[in-house]
Amino acid sequence: MGGAVSAGEDNDELIDNLKEAQYIRTELVEQAFRAIDRADYYLEEFKDNAYKDLAWKHGNIHLSAPCIYSEVMEALDLQPGLSFLNLGSGTGYLSSMVGLILGPFGVNHGVELHSDVIEYAKQKLDFFIKTSDSFD
């Protein structure tokens, strides 16, 4: 699935394309997408594909297409303080974006079966926390 919008040159251009195609419709979802660079969740050798509206899989590591994540986030009508459970949480990309919307009083849990993917997700979350303007 995916391929519904044009590829971007960077994360912001990808989000602009998702907005233009009306996959992203609310400011909260847009802010979450802009706060987390999709390329940061790719293995280094595959980052050239990060801004395409396509799913990506390498072994147990998987990212759905950005249009799918945006549809999910818009359909859930996420608000600060709500709860979110992500079964098959994978890289943590979706859970991290949702967590930004839920805020410090929301509950955000991910369940993942593959230990290698859990470790990968932890590394990606640590990197995001260390490099993001979203945290003090």
Per domain, the residue ranges of the chain are 11-131
Run of H or E including 62: strand 61-63
CATH class entry, domain 11-131: alpha beta
**pLDDT category of residue 135 using cuts at 50, 70 and 90:** low
Q: Which of 46, 27, 32, 40 lies closest to 91, judged by CA?
A: 40
Q: Give tens-digit pLDDT for 3-51.
A: 566 788 899 999 999 999 999 999 999 999 999 999 999 999 999 999 9
Catalytic residues: 64
This prediction has a pTM of 0.91
- Which pLDDT value is given to residue 1? 53
CB under 8 Å to 106, separation ≥6 — which residues?
Answer: 80, 81, 82, 83, 84, 99
What's the rounded Cα separation, in Å, for the pair 17 and 76? 21
**pLDDT category of residue 92 using cuts at 50, 70 and 90:** very high
- Which pLDDT value is given to residue 23? 97
Q: Which of 67, 71, 86, 74 lies closest to 28, judged by CA?
A: 74
| Residue 81 clears pLDDT 60, i.e. is over it | yes
